[in-house]
Amino acid sequence: MPQDERVDPIQILARVGGIAYRSMDASRAFEVWVHLARQAGWDVAVLPANRNADDPTDLGAVMVEGIKYRIHYSPRVRRLLADDSTGHLAYRDALGYAAWAEPDISASGQD
């Protein structure tokens, strides 16, 4: 795929999990994000486990063609939730979990 046609890494969302946090979904979301980025044509290298303990959404880091990205996981995407708690089926919007990338500006020397 020509480089100018690739979706930017920050636009890739790995929609994994529901509306409640589960650690196994977070681990899978990281893997899915890496897969989607590679499928989009990016050369992605997973960096050794170095989660940011100060950020509970941080899953780890990757290097995408010379730029370091932190992969995060939190409610990020709209989901349609079926609700029958009142005895009548109704649908409402809710935020579901997804993984996404954020450039690590501190690692790029562009501060």
Q: What is the pTM of this model?
A: 0.83
pLDDT at 111 exceeding the cut of 60: no
pLDDT at 3 exceeding the cut of 90: no
pLDDT at 75 exceeding the cut of 50: yes
Helices (H), the chain: 23-39, 105-108
For the beta carbon of residue 91, count every other beta carbon within 10 angstroms. Answer: 9
- The residue count for the chain: 111
| Domain range summary for the chain, segments of one domain joined by + | 9-104
What percentage of residues in the chain have a pLDDT greater than 70? Answer: 93
How far is the C-alpha of 64 from the C-alpha of 62, rounded, in Å? 6
Reported as half-sphere exposure (CB side, CA atoms, 13 A), residue 40 has a value of 22
How far is the C-alpha of 37 from the C-alpha of 102, rounded, in Å? 13
Residue 34, helix vs strand vs coil: helix
How far is the C-alpha of 16 from the C-alpha of 86, rounded, in Å? 28
* Residue 110 burial (10 A CB sphere; 0-12, 13-18, 19+): exposed
Average pLDDT over residues 67-86: 92
In tens, the pLDDT along 16-67 reads: 989 998 888 999 999 999 999 999 999 999 999 777 778 889 999 999 999 9
